[in-house]
Amino acid sequence: MFFPDKVLIIGSGIGGLSTAIILARQGVEVTVL
């Protein structure tokens, strides 16, 4: 799978936070608004 270097997540619900954690473990810089 391809993971971008930076990810912006807008409107973080439970799904948004869990996605951010998964991406962060892949070494992706995650920004949650």
- How would DSSP label each residue in 1-33? ----SEEEE-S--HHHHHHHHHHHHTT-EEEE-
Domain that holds residue 2: 1-33
Residue found by looking up tokens 């930076």 in the block = 6
How confident is the model over 1-33, as pLDDT tens digits?
666 788 888 877 888 888 888 989 998 898 888
Tokens of 12: 């973080």
Q: What is the pLDDT of residue 1?
A: 60
Q: Count of domains in the chain?
A: 1
Residue found by looking up tokens 């993971």 in the block = 3
Q: What is the pLDDT of residue 25?
A: 93
